[in-house]
Amino acid sequence: MTDHKVQGTHVGQDGKDTLVHTSSQDTSPALTVINPGMLALIEDRGRFGYAGMGVTPSGCFDRLSFARANHVLGNSQDAPMIEILHGGFEARFECATAFTILGTRAPVEITHPGERPRMEYTQAVYDAVPGTVVRLSGAEAGMRAYFAIRGGFDVPTELGSASRDTMSNLGPAPVAAGDVLYAGQLVEEDPWVPRVRAIPPVWPKRSQELLTVILGPRSHWFTTSAIFDFLWQEYIVSGNSDRIGVRLEGPKPLTRSITDELASEGTVRGAVQIPANGQPVIFGPDHPVTGEYPVIGVLSARSADRVAQLRPGDTVRFTVR
């Protein structure tokens, strides 16, 4: 059993320290984890400004769903929440609060003390009381759900962030059964509780996803036919994908016109790198800070978010902005 709790300050993206909490009396147990599912990670917006030290920003994969979850609860924009892979998460609330689960479309079973289980869905705001049990089923659409509570979770920070970086193992350990998570106080400066309950989804289920890409900086390293294939052929999302990178498989490997060895250069979230096998890899939030394979293009911010919800077997194509 782990108590994810800490005293101290949080360094925001603007470099300023903001209060996490001042004493143990400021927070209280929010929930006890019964089952974390396949993988459940604490994430915030990320740790910025450490690329020179070899530390990637990490943070939530689907930034849009993360931002919406905090907004509908009246939280500050960096309040930590749980990123749940696919589903299977179950927890018991230890306090009265509001919560939401966004990102995926999935059934949610909510059981209040003394009541029969009630079946609901993600993409809504719900109330919990001490003893309320929430069980998230497997996702019907999407891949990563964002479980947020009012005020966020009060968890340890490392290099100014509460995010778990799966590549460098920075940040809180993956959420495990028996963990007790504490309630934070990261709300808007003028606290407010929105009355909106149903949240419109932003990621409709499609038979094929179209990802917007800006070509470069190394698109000239590829043949004209390779650029054509990159933009017109259909790719399948590989099961060998994670927060470091989403691997794609296409019928035609991309061929290079420049075969020289590329000097190591910086990479970013959403960069589409083409390794030696000619099959694209889209970098996720836990990407390496440098790479030695050419980047043919970089996804738009919205498409980089969309990639977080792609499932193995999904089909995608690229389009140029």
Sheet (strand 97-102) strand order:
40-43, 81-85, 144-149, 97-102, 125-128
Give the model confidence (pLDDT) of 56-105 as tens digits: 999 999 999 999 999 999 999 999 999 999 999 999 999 999 999 999 99
Question: Which pLDDT value is given to residue 24?
Answer: 37
What percentage of the chain carries pLDDT values higher than 70?
90
- Tell me the residue ranges of DSSP E strands in 105-184: 107-111, 118-121, 125-128, 133-136, 144-149, 153-154, 180-183
Is residue 208 pLDDT above 90, yes or no?
yes
Identify the pLDDT of residue 205: 85
SS3 43: strand
Residue 321 has what pLDDT?
A: 81
Assigned fold of 209-320: Cyclophilin (2.40.100)
Quote the mean pLDDT of the chain.
91
Q: Quick check: 285 and 269 in contact, CB under 8 A?
A: yes
User: For residues 251 and 237, what is the distance between their CA atoms, to the nearest angstrom?
Assistant: 13
Mean of the pLDDT values across residues 152-163? Answer: 96
What are the sequence ranges of the domains in the chain?
3-183, 209-320
Q: Calculate the CA 222 to chain-centre distance.
A: 31
For position 255, what pLDDT does the model report? Answer: 98
φ, ψ dihedrals at 154, nearest 5° = -90, 100
C-alpha 276/C-alpha 280 separation (Å) is 10
For the cut 60, the answer to whether the pLDDT of residue 9 exceeds it is: no
pTM of full prediction above 0.85: yes
pLDDT in the model for residue 195: 66
Q: What is the pLDDT of residue 45?
A: 98
Burial class (CB in 10 A: 0-12, 13-18, 19+), 51: middle
Residue 66 φ then ψ, to 5°: -60, -50
